[in-house]
Structure 1
Amino acid sequence: MLRALDIRDILIIDHLELEFQPGLNVLTGETGAGKSILLDSLGFVLGWRGRAELVRQGADQGEVMAEFDLAPGHPARAVLAEAGLPEDDTLLLRRVNSRDGRKTAYVNDRRCSGEVLRQLSDTLVELHGQQDDRGLLNPRGHRALLDEYGGLEAGRGAVRQAWREMREARVALDEAEAALEKARADEDFLRHAVGELDKLSPEPGEEEELDRRRRMMQAAERIREDVAKAQAALGHEGAEGAAGDALRWLEGVSDSAEGELDEPMAAIGRAMVELDEAASGVGRFLDALSFNPTELEEAEERLFAIRALARKHGVMADELAGFTDDLRTRLNAVEQGDADIAALRSAVTKAEEAYGAAADKLSASRKEAAARLDKAMSNELAPLKMERAAFETKIDTVEAGPDGQDGVTFTVATNPGAPAGPLNKIASGGELSRFLLALKVCLTGDDSSVTMIFDEIDRGVGGATADAVGRRLARLADQGQVLVVTHSPQVAARAAHHWQVAKRVEGEQTLSTVAPLAGSERVDEIARMLSGDTVTAEARAAAEALMAG
């Protein structure tokens, strides 16, 4: 519920502080007094797109602040949580418009974007008037309104899920068919390439090992003699034997050396172990240098074959094994393609049947909801002096989509026998006002979380009809909060809270003021609305009669 609106330096308003109440709040005043400026100011702080120039002449910036009460579970709380903004029972919105056009918004004293304001506004306020195109008069939104009225969120969610699954199944089939077609075009190449690669069967790291062996075998004859000499120099006829002799000689005299030879003897022992390991390693290498002369030729042939295949397929030699697996997978896809395509086609058929069943079920629910809405509208139109008018929710079959296969349009026939048509094309101004009011009442139900604003929705009606509109607005306001900008005394007389918008001139400036009315002041305002500038006793009596009725 909107509790307060504080406006500073906006258009012809220097400073206004308004405190609103639950129930029916009306704003009245002469044409041009500034009633629309109040709505512009409220729309500004809620992030709506409106006038570009709002700052009052001579001011550096304009500012609007709005305070709302949030009940537990109010939808605005979810928006605040999603945006990471502080949440409380009081919601404070503030927006500043500087002279250079920059706009800055705050929610509960935390800076935020205009988009967050607009998301919050959708949960806080609904504005309706004869030029309303935000929902009721826009046929593109009628299906969503009917679904909301009928409580069809679950059914619509099932249809959207079925639509996604059907689309995914179709995409999978299309991709598989395209891949199979391409694979079949390459089938001969795949069979030849896989056969050639399987015959060679290269292993990761094999090229490097073959190259190493090849280089070693090429160098074998040149280095074998020196390696053999090294082995002899290290073995029993060389260093190892000499070290053994030295150790035996020292051991023979160690008893007479009083321990002075113990450390040198231990060092010689360690050296003999190292010499033995060195000799063994050299021996192993020397054995490796002994090979069949055909081994070099075979290693070179395989190395060159691996490198040739790598160049042919544009991959690294170590990648040939993985590349072979990829080609084999593609070849298997060709061989298994028909079975896979059949399975995917079956999945598409099942998904289409599931979507059709969900869409048919939603269509039936929409038709049932449409019948209930039409009946509710008939009950609402009679008290608004439109008992001869007819409202019909028309449902047509349209191209299937994520929201089903139904096109929904709210149509009216204003007189018996007259053709039905869209709301905004058939109804006159006064009739349209009452249709919109009745439709809003039916669609809103018991929802009191949103402040509803009606901007001169009673335009074009008077007398008993205007009185009926006023009474219905008052009953609607019993469920929450309704703000009405009106020129109708019959509507103003039904208000629980009444404000008068007026203009005053200070120096060379025209300023707008808003004053709460009660008692005789309110009687005088309603009398003015009845009789014009000259308020007579008869007009006051008529105003009192309206208020008493």
Structure 2
Amino acid sequence: MQFMLRALEIRDMLIIDRLDLAFQPGLNVLTGETGAGKSILLDSLGFVLGWRGRAELVRSGAAQGEVTAVFELSPGHAARAVLEEAGLPVSEELILRRVNSADGRKTGWVNDRRASGEVLRRLSETLVELHGQHDDRGLLNPSGHRAILDSYAAIDAELAAARAAWAKRREARKALEAAQAALEAVRAEEDFLRHAVDELDRLAPMPGEEAELDTKRRMMQSAERIREDIVRASQALGNDGAEGTMANALRWLEGASEKAEGRLEGAIAALTRAMAELDEAGREVEDCLDALEFNPQDLEETEERLFAIRGLARKHAIAPDELPELAATLSGRLAALESGAENIAALTRAVSEADAEYDTAAAALTEARREAAGRLDTAMATELAPLKMERAVFRTEVAGGEPGPEGRDAVAFTVATNPGAPAGPLNKIASGGELSRFLLALKVSLSEERNRGVTMIFDEIDRGVGGATADAVGRRLKALAEGGQVLVVTHSPQVAALGAHHWRVQKRVENDATLSTVAALDAGDREDEIARMLSGDTVTKEARAAARALLAG
């Protein structure tokens, strides 16, 4: 046994003050008179699993109600993935606890960590399946029929291929649409692009060129004004000026140095250094004079290019140094326009290839589903006959639907209760008793592929049937519980007799308060309970004999 609901502890919920249940593998049956509190057990279990149900659950006079459920998890159980995703501790034992205060506040824990009702509900989907005559959480919901059939068909590989093909198809279409939109946007400004790129290419501005041209222009404009002073300075520094005077002074000092007994060496060294600096200054002045030599036409050409660069920058509302980058950007957009048709053609081919790949994957899914539908219908026919519904016809319809990541099939379970009668949805065609048996037959047919890893709960699914049919229901429930765990709330003695473990739900009055209790029954107690179920309040010898016969199988 790899999974089961091991324990359910209830404190101060409705008419239950304290209740500890230790469930077992196999078929667990709960019996009791109507109103004894069997539904409260399910309400309490639903509460700790986060299901939305009755608003007022706290026992009258209590400050709060509390329910704890303990599950055993196998290494690969689906609940482990939910726990990991929620950042909750994972172990072989899963403990769910939820408290409902008298003012309506609800607080949940998973393995002693706070958890939301949403996390509890997601866990419950991997832990428990509840089925009854008004089952709207599972097999009666048409939106889940395709997933049920896929699980029965064991087509994980085909589903993975379809999902991958759908994703590839979606991406290919997205890329084509984006390219088409971009091309249309570029085409709308084609004339502007061609003119702007041509204008930028003819001017060919360079980074930093505007600043260089501005400096050159200002230099040429001021050249005449400063040239005269620079020439004077050059003359003052030259042989006829400072350089000549300093050279004479150096020659005179060097001539007198021998007789000055070293007193002029410092002066001579300083003057030598000064002569070197003076020479450097003279060269710099000459270089400046050379730079100031220009042709008036150079000024005109410099100004013309400078104004052209500034004018184009103003036209595009950017800085002059940003013109080269703009030229590259606009050239790229124009190139995209010119190569756009070729790119669109390539993307269109990619979409066609992705469509074909998806069509192939979807067709494989349809074929696999139709084959599995035939097998499921055959299995259902085999199961319905012992349930006294041999004239009923169950059909798994696989029809065309909207394309999606899991193919383009719509799957629906339909029934016709009599030959020649029109088929329709399960919950629209079948009566209460028939619906119970359809659900049970379907669960048994799906059991090998789908039902392992969850505790299945059947709430009075045998209502409206008796005798041999009730016995057939019980035997299918027993078969369904082999290797797993099934909990059945039942009024049928035939079903109760086939249980591996039996609990009786009773009411008692204590201090003017009505309370519900649940007791595990041994062999003798089981005989008493089943006899009561057969005969009512007065248990006869015949009822006891019949109970023994039922228990003997």
TM-score after normalising by structure 1: 0.90
**Deviation at residue 439 of structure 1 after TM alignment:** 1.0
Identity of aligned residues (%): 68
Distance 1:121 1:268 in 2: 102
Shift of 1:23: 0.8
CA-to-aligned-CA distance 1:338-361 (integer Å, 9 cap, x gap): 222222222222121111111111
Give 1:457's match in structure 2, choosing from 446, 456, 461. 461
Q: Which amino acid aligns with 2:307?
A: F
For each residue in 1:34-56, what CA deviation from the matched residue of structure 2 results, as whole angstroms up to 9, or x when unmatched?
Answer: 22221121112112222233222
* Matching residue of 1:42: 45
Structure 1 residues 298 and 88: alpha-carbon distance in aligned structure 2, compared to 1, 3 A threshold: same
Map of 2:529 onto structure 1 = 525
Tell me what 1:71 maps to: 74
- 2:489 is matched with 485
Superposed, 1:425-440 pairs within 5 Å as 425-440=428-443
**2:550 maps to what in 1?**
546
Q: Does 2:116 match 1:113?
A: yes
- Seen in structure 2, the aligned counterparts of structure 1 residues 420 and 290 have a Cα distance that, compared at 3 Å, is same
Post-superposition offset of 1:481: 0.7
Provide the secondary structure at the position in 2 that maps to 1:510.
Answer: strand
CA distance in 2, matches of 1:420, 1:239: 122
Q: For residue 3 of structure 1, what is the aligned residue in structure 2?
A: 6
User: Cα 1:208–1:111, aligned 2, differ >3 Å: closer, same or farther?
Assistant: farther
Partner SS state of residue 40, structure 1: helix
Take 1:20 and 1:449, find their aligned partners in 2: how far apart are those partners?
16
1:386 equivalenced with 2:374 (yes/no): no
Q: 1:57 aligns with which of 39, 60, 66?
A: 60
Q: Does structure 2 retain, via aligned residues, the 8 Å contact 1:240–1:276?
A: no
Residue-by-residue CA offset, 1:190-221 (whole Å, 9 max, x unaligned): 21111111111122232233333333444444
Tell me which of 172, 194, 197 is aligned to 1:191: 194
2:161 alignment partner AA: A
1:347 matches 2:350? yes
Q: Does the Cα contact within 8 Å between 2:459 and 2:489 map onto a contact in 1?
A: yes
Q: Distance in 1 between matches of 2:122 and 2:299?
A: 78
Match of 1:531, as an amino acid?
Answer: S
Which of 135, 139, 144 is the aligned partner of 2:142? 139
1-side partners of 2:244 and 2:526: how far apart? Answer: 126
RMSD of aligned residue pairs (Cα, Å): 3.0
8 Å contact kept, 1:240–1:275 = no
- C-alpha deviations, 1:308-330, integer Å up to 9, x for none? 22222233322222222222222
- Work out whether 1:292 is the aligned partner of 2:295: yes
Judge conservation of contact 2:131–2:138 (CA < 8 Å) in 1. Answer: no
How far the C-alpha of 1:304 sits from its partner, in A, is 2.2
- State the distance in 2 between where 1:113 and 1:285 align: 83
Deviation at 1:448, TM superposition (A): 2.8
Q: Which secondary structure state, in structure 2, belongs to the residue aligned with residue 94 of structure 1? A: strand
Alignment of 1:109-188 (within 5 A): 109-188=112-191
- Structure 2 alignment gaps of length 5 or more: none
In 2, Cα distance between equivalents of 1:11 and 1:283: 110
Q: Aligned pair 1:516/2:528, yes or no?
A: no
Q: 1:235 touches 1:241 (CA, 8 Å); kept in 2? A: no
Code of the aligned partner of 1:378: A
| CA 1:285–1:126: 2 relative to 1, 3 Å | farther
Aligned amino acid, residue 324 of structure 2: A
Over 3 Å counting, the alpha-carbon distance change for 1:26 and 1:265 in structure 2 is farther
C-alpha contact 1:159 1:358 (8 A) present in aligned 2: yes
Partner of 1:90: 93
Matched position secondary structure for 1:539:
helix
The answer to whether the Cα contact below 8 Å between 1:254 and 1:261 also exists between their aligned partners in 2 is no
Query: Which residue among 298, 302, 323 is the counterpart of 1:320?
Result: 323
Report the count of equivalent residues: 547
TM superposition outliers: structure 1 runs of 4+ over 6 Å: 229-236, 243-248, 264-279
Deviations 1:511-546 (A, max 9, x none): 222221223222222222222222223222222221
Is 1:498 matched up with 2:526? no
Give the alignment's TM-score, normalised by structure 2.
0.90
Structure 1 counterpart of 2:128, one-letter code: V
Structure 2 CA distance for aligned equivalents of residues 183 and 296 of structure 1: 40
- Aligned-partner residue type, residue 525 of structure 1: E
**C-alpha distance in 2, partners of 1:534/1:233?**
143
Return the alpha-carbon distance in structure 2 between the equivalents of residues 358 and 113 of structure 1: 39
Paired residue type of 1:13: I
Structure-2 change in CA distance of 1:239 and 1:379 (3 Å): farther
Q: Is the 8 A contact 1:247 1:265 kept in 2?
A: no
Among residues 422, 426, 430, which one is paired with 1:423 in the alignment? 426
Unmatched tracts of structure 1, length 5 or more: none
